[in-house]
Amino acid sequence: MIPVNELLFFALAAFVLVISPGPNMIYLISRSITQGRKAGMISLAGVIVGFLFHIILVSFGLTAILFAVPFAFILLKTLGVAYLLYLAWQAVKPDSKSIFETNKDLPDDKPGKLFRIGFLTNVLNPKVAVFYLSLFPQFIKAEYGSVMMQSLQLGVTQVMVSFTINFIIVLIAARAAAWFSKNPAWVKAQKWFMASVLTGLALKMAFTKVR
């Protein structure tokens, strides 16, 4: 089992992934604002099932890769550092948007379509796959036991963090969007906070030793 302190640090990385602008958050917030909380919750259910799909694939894939190709860790670490720094730049670049700046003119969809689009938005989101493949190896160690079980443990942690934050955001999406529109300084602060955390995670990963 992975130690609690390592899980907490991973949970921080998962939190940053959740609040980083991306297809999942844009879709959930847009649906919550235009079609109401119920539509947002149904869409969120589809997104969570999409996470489970990624977790299963990555858990089996990492088990095979890390045992078959030891030097794959170096490649995955490099990819992870580059990806986190890319996200940090995306957060603060001049034309970057707040997570609450979304499309507010979407037509209403039925529950089945809301769930399906939420699922597909997540399954087809390369951000999620890259996050799993680049960050999971940084927290997995042979002395902690089965690689697959550690991957599943990290996956469950990430899903819990994602569900909790997304659930809260779906509930407050409309109010938060209105509040941020009236307080642009907080939008800038949120972007720089996100970029700082992402850069810190990238630096930690860069100095992680090969397992």
Model confidence at 113, in pLDDT bands (50, 70, 90)? very high
Cβ-based burial of 210 (10 A; exposed 0-12, middle 13-18, buried ≥19): exposed
The percent of residues in the chain predicted with pLDDT above 70, rounded, is: 73
Q: What is the per-residue DSSP string for the chain?
A: ---HHHHHHHHHHHHHHHHS--HHHHHHHHHHHHH-HHHHHHHHHHHHHHHHHHHHHHHHHHHHHHHH-TTHHHHHHHHHHHHHHHHHHHHHSTT---TT-----PPP--HHHHHHHHHHHHHT-HHHHHHHHHHHHHH--GGGS-HHHHHHHHHHHHHHHHHHHHHHHHHHHHHHHHHHHH-HHHHHHHHHHHHHHHHHHHHHHHTPPP-
Confirm whether 67 is domain-assigned: yes
Confirm whether 42 is domain-assigned: yes
Confirm whether 211 is domain-assigned: no
Confirm whether 156 is domain-assigned: yes
pLDDT tens, residue by residue, 68-110: 565 666 666 677 677 778 777 876 777 665 555 555 555 778 9
pLDDT of residue 137: 75
Of 14, 8, 16, 5, nearest to 197 (Cα)? 16
Model confidence at 197, in pLDDT bands (50, 70, 90)? confident
Confirm whether 39 is domain-assigned: yes
Asked if 44 contacts 166 with a C-beta cutoff of 8 angstroms, the reply is yes
Dist CA 61 CA 66 (whole Å): 9
pLDDT tens, residue by residue, 134-184: 777 778 887 888 878 888 899 899 999 999 988 998 888 877 766 766 776
The chain-wide mean pLDDT, for the chain, equals 77
Confirm whether 112 is domain-assigned: yes
Dist CA 177 CA 190 (whole Å): 13
Instruction: Give the domain extent around 53.
Output: 4-206
Confirm whether 122 is domain-assigned: yes
pLDDT of residue 17: 76
**Helical pair 23-35 and 147-182, crossing angle rounded to 10 deg:** 50
Confirm whether 109 is domain-assigned: yes
Of 192, 70, 63, nearest to 136 (Cα)? 63
Number of structural domains (the chain) is 1
User: Which amino acid makes up residue 107?
Assistant: P
